[in-house]
Amino acid sequence: MGNSKDDSDKGWLPEVEELRLRESLASQMGGPENLARHRAAGRLNVRERIDKLLDKGSFHETGASAGIPTFDGDRLVKLFPANFILGTGRIDNRRVVVGADDFTIRGGAADAAIGRKASYAERMALDLRLPMIRLVDGTGGGGSVKFLEKMDRTYVPANPAMEIMEQLLSTVPVMSAALGSVAGLGAARVVFSHFSVMPKKTAQLFVAGPPVVEAAFGQKVDKEELGGSSIHTTGFGAVDNEVASEEEAFEHIRRFLSYMPNSVYELPPVKEVTDPPDRREEELIRIIPKNKRHPYSIRRLLELVLDKDSFFEIGAKHGRSVVAGLARLSGRPVGVMANDPKFYGGAITPTSALS
């Protein structure tokens, strides 16, 4: 008997190849020209960011082929991908959800149904009870002015996925990084977090950009004057930490997460103790001067008391009379708050009360 199976039948191979083609086209993001412009501004592209944040090879993308296709007959020849990438990955082998804007496609403006990808990422983190990490670069869901004019309406007063974001804050750790000129709902997504970070010079954050300010007040300001990292990490404290680079921002996110449980339904991870619990530091007997008018280094004192190299400071430039952060004692995560006598004698000021 001959083989009854038709040799010309390729099964599901054509469909699988179609999916691979779509994923390949989507991976080109905004195209060579936009990617080059993005790189010239000193910024990583969205896929480079995800690769540097997560454990190598751990990212599993959801909705990679979402976008606007162009066909030549029945053949797909082009795919204009959505400018939001989401999926799960691992940090120190812990599973997390990541949602990231792609500024090389329409400046990260999540118009129409595209904005639902961000909502999907938030819902995924909530349902799976996994830490949520947002890499924000653009309006992040508010839509472009051009598209709003086309719709002849705005999203106001609704904020897409805000009700999910509220639930997330009481359920899982939420971390955000501002990685470009972030405005509108994107800015809200950054500050609506347990921990936020932004690099110097390459990131800014504002409700609306310089053109809106000029139109409203007749005053020209550049992006740094309006919403640079020095503004948000000092006087206002809208963002927790300022860093020198995007890579350092990812390191801060990884470190913050290391003290956190996956959700409120779990305990935080306890690390193996490498610092002997019976360690004695003779410096402690003299670090605090007898004269109350003489200041001392509270950070040095914390180094001596806590597990070595375990203190992670949060909001160092905001409310400087109080030092706050996370650390470990005998490998167990703890919160730290200490008055700093070098600023206002360690008194609680309005800004330090928020630390």
The answer to whether residue 1 scores a pLDDT higher than 60 is no
Is 265 buried (19+), middle (13-18) or exposed (0-12) by CB count in 10 A?
A: exposed
What rounded mean pLDDT belongs to the chain?
86
CA distance 39 to 48: 11
pTM for the full predicted model: 0.88
d(CA 278, CA 330): 10
Which band of pLDDT confidence, cut at 50, 70 and 90, is reported for residue 242?
Answer: very high
pLDDT mean over 188-202: 94
**Span of 105-109, 119-123, 134-138, 168-172 with lowest mean pLDDT:** 105-109
Domains in the chain: ranges and CATH? 13-258 (3.90.226.10), 282-354 (no CATH)
Q: If pLDDT is split at 50, 70 and 90, which confidence band does 349 have?
A: confident
CB 324 within 8 A of CB 271: no
Residue (of 256, 252, 138, 245) closest to 199 by Cα position: 245
Report the percent of the chain where pLDDT is more than 90: 47
- E strands present in the chain: 60-62, 67-72, 75-81, 84-91, 94-101, 132-136, 174-178, 181-183, 195-199, 204-206, 241-243, 312-313, 322-329, 332-339
- What pLDDT shows up at residue 150? 63
DSSP state of 228: B
Residue closest to 53 by CA, chosen among 18, 16, 94, 25: 94
What tens digit of pLDDT does each residue of 57-105 get? 999 999 888 878 888 887 877 878 888 899 999 999 999 999 999 888 8
- Reduced to 3 states (helix: H, G, I; strand: E, B; else coil), residue 60 is strand
* 110 confidence band (pLDDT: 50, 70, 90): low
What average pLDDT score do residues 234-255 get? 93
